[in-house]
Structure 1
């Protein structure tokens, strides 16, 4: 049997086993006893509802995993990639045009296959627990906009990579790396002012107590803001959040309108201080640099496999091509991606602790952020007792109880 096929199918199966195992451990770790730290904010029935939400989400995730482990290997073994490749070639375009059609067809197949579960998650599961505020029109427009952006941004990016690997010889991976990195950095500047507003309305935070408090925090920490916005997150969900975007002098903070509704000024300042902490502690630049390095590694390794006949034979391909080689390598790369992803999650969790500590120092008291974390957990029906193995594999943030414990430790110093 083809060794590459064994590696790819084996890594898929291993990923499925790992994911389902840690998910079951996570469900068994659900503790019906409300943690002491949340007895002042969580009613018993609401806590039970949060656990029901975790169970419902896990069941849907399991369905998605089972379908994936059936459909994707079947698509490979039944020659689906070769069928798509032949269809792309039937348009009679040059190699780059053919490659773009190949990518587009695979994207469309994958997106349409995922659509039923996406609809169920939004309009059934999220609706059942009171989170969904998306209507059919917004859902459809979001999908259409995502397709347009995929064509407008992903098309030229993929075409550029194909051209580099076709035309620039042994150092094609290096030129592709430079090109991809340039676009990645450019998107960091463009996204806040061009892409994100396609999906949400960003309104400058009005003058008043909250804006004054946040601007005072920014001045105190030496953080230069180019914008402070309220985002209409309630357009799609009752869940709340805040995030930081932009580089250099284009740094922006966006607060969900739901967050502003649910929290006091003091709590929101704690949340914003946490986001500022990511910038001041260099987390954003560090993660960006790591992403760039990872892209270079992937492109270099990819260059070693693009004309590997055995790899193409594993997928039943009639012809070798750069465009198909890119996809096949990414499937072969799956186990490496899993390991690197877990390592990145570990680093991200450490960054969250550091940003929490910065927020406590910047505000002079960890209690506002502790209170905000509790409010967010209640509002979002968060799982308060995740299993460590599940956290290890999936969590980019530490469990909320671990964060609160660390913040209380700072309070005692």
Structure 2
């Protein structure tokens, strides 16, 4: 079937409807203009107010990391395209199923894991490069053994999730050969919602140990802050981040009954109580303004749209023949699917980061309003930059494409604007 004919299929109409819903949700839920970005003069003044050593350390680290990051991105994309746009991926999947008589389930599970693993192995050397750079700059406290364990854990989590998704998807395509795309789209959206709720309870403990923050004035202040903000939290936990990094951070994770404040032990070690409160106030802003909900809605709509797009792609028989798959529902098309998702993910990343920056800027304003401590907020941003070796004012093109948060200089400038009101 030609692609022009595929665009007239029910899945294409569903795809257009979901994309429209995604755009509307983004327009309604994302704070595109509020708060306004600080003027450039204020940003330059913020940079000048920071210690020269902090600025230099951030520039040095980002300069050392950037080549590896670009090469990793290129290697991952090239591996995905080499496997997905040639018969190579289909041959690997077929080879994995051959000892089992070419059974579709063996191809789906074993072949799928093989393709996923090859894609991850393509970027592994650059992950090692990144770790070496972080160690050299004193930001990582992990040895190679600990780093390798974390990599293995990450692969194991990916493998388990991959087996579940692959098994469910290819079973569905056989039980409902005509309507699989509609059911799978709903299932993908539901999976995003479930992962948003279960991630802090199931995935986070794989990589960190969490202990309740002992009774103390700080714990009481953080719980009182959340209560005053109207954000119910179940607990305040301390993550043992120091076993792998000297970076400092805190976050609020989970939805509803799973929501909790998480503070890095490094933050407790390095920051004053007022600065910890400032960071947590920012994170409460995300919960208060429903940023987790917004991200979940956008993610669910995007996942459902991706499945419908997959069904439309499945009608492009010429492409399927070129890669050695008879149907998009065949496990031998899996590498093609992953290649398409890799391209879409790469192209959509700048837009996702733009959404993230706008929500982060709103959370900053929330923290300033909640605490009324602009000086403490600016001091905390300076401490975060020094501890995390952040590039306080990266090149605009780097920030545009990769920046998920406002820059340190922009955040300090925003605090100054808030103080002058």
TM class by shorter chain equals: 0.7 to 0.9
Contact 1:213 1:265 in 2 (8 A): no
Q: 1:117 aligns with which of 93, 113, 126?
A: 126
Match in the other structure for 1:154: 162
What SS does the corresponding residue of 2:179 show, helix, strand or coil? Answer: helix
Match in the other structure for 2:135: 127
Whether 1:390 aligns to 2:374 is no
Distance in 1, matches of 2:257 and 2:367, equals 21
Q: Deviations over 1:314-338 (max 9, x none)?
A: 43x1654523434424433555444
Provide closer, same or farther for how the CA distance between residues 175 and 69 of structure 1 changes in structure 2, counting only shifts above 3 A: closer
Match in the other structure for 2:252: 244
Match in the other structure for 1:137: 145
Q: 2:114 aligns with which of 105, 108, 113?
A: 105
Q: Deviations over 1:42-77 (max 9, x none)?
A: 2x3443232221111112224335545665555567
Distance in 2, matches of 1:333 and 1:109, equals 16
Contact 1:234 1:257 in 2 (8 A): yes
Match in the other structure for 2:228: 220
Match in the other structure for 1:28: none
Whether 1:373 aligns to 2:381 is yes
TM-score (norm 2): 0.82
Contact 1:82 1:318 in 2 (8 A): yes
Match in the other structure for 1:351: 359
Distance in 1, matches of 2:353 and 2:227, equals 31
Residues matched between the structures, number = 379
Correspondence 1:178-217 to 2 at 5 A: 178-217=186-225
Q: 1:296 aligns with which of 286, 304, 313?
A: 304
Provide closer, same or farther for how the CA distance between residues 215 and 130 of structure 1 changes in structure 2, counting only shifts above 3 A: same
Contact 1:244 1:275 in 2 (8 A): yes
Q: Deviations over 1:127-160 (max 9, x none)?
A: 1101121123322322332233233332112211
Provide closer, same or farther for how the CA distance between residues 250 and 62 of structure 1 changes in structure 2, counting only shifts above 3 A: closer
Whether 1:259 aligns to 2:267 is yes
Distance in 1, matches of 2:238 and 2:344, equals 39
What SS does the corresponding residue of 1:170 show, helix, strand or coil? Answer: coil
Unaligned runs of 5+ in 2: 4-42
Distance in 2, matches of 1:389 and 1:38, equals 18
Match in the other structure for 2:179: 171
What SS does the corresponding residue of 2:237 show, helix, strand or coil? Answer: strand
Provide closer, same or farther for how the CA distance between residues 69 and 373 of structure 1 changes in structure 2, counting only shifts above 3 A: same
Match in the other structure for 1:47: 55
TM-score (norm 1): 0.84
What SS does the corresponding residue of 2:140 show, helix, strand or coil? Answer: coil
CA RMSD of aligned residues (A): 2.5
Higher relative contact order (CA 8 A, sep 6+): 2
Provide closer, same or farther for how the CA distance between residues 335 and 246 of structure 1 changes in structure 2, counting only shifts above 3 A: same
Correspondence 1:273-312 to 2 at 5 A: 273-306=281-314, 308-312=316-320
Shift of 1:293: 0.4
Shift of 1:280: 0.8
Provide closer, same or farther for how the CA distance between residues 73 and 249 of structure 1 changes in structure 2, counting only shifts above 3 A: closer
What SS does the corresponding residue of 2:214 show, helix, strand or coil? Answer: coil
